[in-house]
Amino acid sequence: MAEPLASPATLEVEIFDPPLCCPTGLCGPVLDTTLVDLADAVSALTAEGHTVVRHMMTSDPQAFLRNRSVYELIKEHQLDVLPITVVRGQIVKTSAYPSLDELRVAIGAGA
């Protein structure tokens, strides 16, 4: 399901996902706990009033092209650099999903 779009001025966290069969980790024969934890973190931040958008490469490829920093990283390192987490326009983590605590620190919400 697509996330609601936010204007760049209100967008706090963007997560650029690698190609996935589903963003929740609940598909397939084995539960992907990393994706479940990420979904919980996104829900927690959203409940706290933060704007979080996940961009799926398969359904929103234009987002990867619009963000010049993300585009350049992928161009240089290929898909190995994904996922990429951007907070208020700055890349804060690559090649792995952040924890809820890492996200809170990056947005200045404390842990």
Residue ranges covered by each domain of the chain:
13-107
Instruction: Tell me the C-alpha to C-alpha distance, in Å, between residue 87 and each of 21, 25, 41.
Output: 25, 23, 14
CATH number of 13-107: 3.40.30.10
Tell me: pLDDT of 32 over 70.
yes
Closest listed residue to residue 74, CA positions, set 92, 95, 89:
95
User: For the chain, what percent of residues have pLDDT higher than 90?
Assistant: 68
pTM over 0.75: yes
68-84: burial string, b at 16+ Cβ within 10 Å, e else: eebeebbeeeeeebbbb
Whether a cis peptide bond, with omega within 30° of 0, leads into 29 is no
Higher pLDDT, 11 or 88: 88
Give the pLDDT score at 19: 86
